[in-house]
Amino acid sequence: MRALQTNFTAEQLENPDLREANDILRACVHCGFCTATCPTYVLLGDELDSPRGRIYLIKDLLETGRPADARTTLHIDRCLSCLSCMTTCPSDVHYMHLVDLARARIEETFKRPLGDKLIRALIARLVPNRRLFRLALRAARLSRIFAPIMPSRLRAMMMMAPRRLAKASPVDQPQVFQAEGKRRMRVALLNGCAQTVLAPQINEATVRLLTRHGCEVVVASGAGCCGALAHHMGRTSEAHAAAAANIDAWTAEIEDEGIDAIVINASGCGTTVKDYGFMFQGDPAYEKKAARIAGITRDITEVMSEIGLQSGAGSPESLTVAYHSACSMQHGQGITAEPKALLRQAGFEVREPAEGHLCCGSAGAYNMLQPALADKLGARKIANIEKTGADVVATGNIGCLTQIASGTAIPVVHTAELLDWATGGPKPAALADLK
């Protein structure tokens, strides 16, 4: 098999983004292995809705320098950025960086229909802003009666609203939580944006878990949204602004009292923060700082695997857990063994659903922007989970948690909630009625 041939001009290759794209494209040998594990290709069977097909579209878009057209935009928009193709690819094609470049190009050059443009702007404005997101969810709850007559995307946004919205947690305010016993690590926790509104109990459980195991936990002033949502919509300046705010906040903590790790408990955010070094390549103000932050970023299960659960930890109840590995966890960060090993060490029986490599359909804003495809993927994922006969579902990403919980009666919780419970914390509220 031959590597993909590219035709960028010498002048084009002076652009660092196009140079990067050229290197990525030339790594592809168009073998097609990626098609078997691409969720949209599995559903639609269209070559242009496979990674290989999208690579050809992106190649043409970037080489010609033309504005994006409707056909290219349609197939790039349908990509979940689940990155299953990167796990499958034998040639290490960095599809994530390539599709992000394409999305930025589309955002710059394609004139979207007004409705599409407004929905995207609304999502990008509301979700990363906790106050506005909370207000929007309250309005959506009150308006659910009108959901059946709403356009599909607005209906998807309205149905995302939980029937009961938790109060804002004091844990999410800038502060320092002291370690219990001898301090083993000092870490900063990204408390994020949507998760603090949809499921504030996750950060509460994470703080208890870390402090119980000897970690001093800092919620840094000025840190917030990781920028992933805007980044994957091609809104580069907004994404970089959010990322820069986090980098500044955490750098101040590093220079003040030091930080051993940035802890992330939403794997979608973790994949983006770990990529800050790449995002800020060539930026004289942020390149070194971003690389340092990316280098010390860890998922909560990576940190807990390093520390080790308290001796004698064990599930207060004998439960079977279906572990859903978020795409951003397994494909984006390559974290597969740690969460399952920790859950087993905590005394839970862990079962793995079939087709675990396929996305649940959440994928950031995907379930709001592509609700028909997201619903099909969600139903497929839930059917596989329910076949395990598990008592509870555990996952490490708020988007997956919300997507799966919307379609099953099985309680869905964050992995950190179960680990917290098993080491002395309260029983997760979602398990209150579990028999």
Per-residue pLDDT of 252-311, as tens digits, reads 999 999 999 999 999 999 999 999 999 999 999 999 999 999 999 999 999 999 999 987
Residue spans of the domains in the chain: they are 12-109, 114-159, 170-304, 312-431
Strand segments, DSSP code E, in 296-402 are 297-299, 320-324, 349-351, 392-395
Cα separation, 223 vs 201, in Å, equals 19
Q: What is the CA radius of gyration of the chain?
A: 21
pLDDT at position 239: 97
What is each CA distance from 393 to 269, 289, 402, 403, in whole angstroms?
A: 20, 37, 12, 12
Q: Which two tokens stand for residue 23?
A: 């290197």
Are 257 and 143 a contacting pair, CB within 8 Å? no
12-109: CATH topology: Fumarate Reductase Iron-sulfur Protein; Chain B, domain 2 (1.10.1060)
Domain 312-431 has CATH 3.20.20.70: no
- Residue 326, judged by CB atoms within 10 A of its CB (0-12, 13-18, 19+), counts as buried
Look at residue 209 and give its three-state secondary structure: helix
pLDDT at 415: 98
Largest CA distance in the chain: 67
Residue 41 corresponds to which amino acid?
A: Y
What confidence score (pLDDT) does residue 160 get? 67
| Other beta carbons less than 10 A from residue 155's beta carbon | 17
- Rounded CA-CA distance 350/320 in Å is 6
Q: How many CA atoms lie within 13 A of 397 on its CB side?
A: 28
**Which secondary structure element, helix H or strand E, spans residue 153, and what is its range?**
helix 152-159
Angle between helices 201-212 and 415-422 (to 10 degrees): 40
The DSSP H or E segment spanning 203 is: helix 201-212
289-to-32, 131, 219, 248 alpha-carbon distances in Å = 38, 29, 19, 8
pLDDT digits (tens, 9 = 90+) for 302-315: 999 999 998 777 77
φ, ψ of residue 114 to 5 degrees: the values are -55, -45
Give whole-number Cα distances, 146 to 31, 119, 254, 362, 428, in Å. Answer: 47, 18, 49, 23, 32
User: 274 φ, ψ to 5°?
Assistant: -65, -15
Q: What is the pLDDT of residue 138?
A: 82
Is there a common fold for 12-109 and 170-304? no
Angle in degrees, CA 206, 272, 13, rounded to 5: 170
Task: List, in order, residues 6 or more apart from 237 with CB less than 8 Å away.
Answer: none
Q: Are 222 and 229 in contact (CB under 8 A)?
A: no
Which residues of the chain fall below pLDDT 70?
1, 141-161, 435
What span, in angstroms and rounded, lies between the C-alpha atoms of 298 and 93?
Answer: 24
Q: What is the pTM for the complete model shown?
A: 0.93
What backbone phi and psi angles, to 5 degrees, belong to 423?
-115, 20
Amino acid at 305: S
Could you give the angle at which helices 371-386 and 152-159 cross, rounded to 10 degrees?
40
The CATH architecture to which 170-304 belongs is: 3-Layer(aba) Sandwich (3.40)
Residue (of 83, 162, 159, 153) closest to 372 by Cα position = 153
Give φ, ψ of 150 to 5 degrees: -85, 155
